[in-house]
Amino acid sequence: MGLVLPFAFVAAPCLWELGRQATRDAPKARRRFIGEAVRVVAGLALPVLALAGFALFLYVKSGDPLAFVTAQKGWGRTFGDPLSRPLIYLIKPRALADNNDLVSFAFVWISLGLLVALGFLRKWPLFVLAAFLAIVPLTTGITSYQRYCLVMLPLFMAGAKLLADRPPMATMTTLLTLATLNGFMMVAWTLCLGVTA
- 100-141 pLDDT, tens digit per residue, is 677 788 888 889 999 999 999 988 888 888 888 888 888 887
Phi-psi region of 12 (alpha: psi -120 to 50; beta: other; left: phi over 0): alpha
Please tell me the total count of domains within the chain.
2
Crossing angle of helices 102-120 and 153-163, rounded to 10°: 70
Instruction: Give per-residue pLDDT as tens, 8-60.
Output: 777 777 778 777 777 776 777 777 878 888 888 888 888 889 989 999 999 99
Residue 159: domain span:
78-196
- Higher-confidence position of 193 and 109: 109
Q: Verify that 115 and 26 share a domain, yes or no.
A: no
Measured distance CA(195)–CA(184) in Å, rounded? 10
Q: Verify that 43 and 102 share a domain, yes or no.
A: no
Q: Verify that 30 and 84 share a domain, yes or no.
A: no
Q: Verify that 179 and 84 share a domain, yes or no.
A: yes
Residue 146 has pLDDT above 70, yes or no: yes
Q: Verify that 68 and 82 share a domain, yes or no.
A: no
Q: Is the pTM of this model over 0.75?
A: no
Measured distance CA(82)–CA(111) in Å, rounded? 13
3-state secondary structure of 1: coil
* Spatial contact of 146 and 185, defined as CB atoms under 8 Å apart: yes
Q: Verify that 106 and 168 share a domain, yes or no.
A: yes
* Residue 172 CB neighbours (<10 A): 10
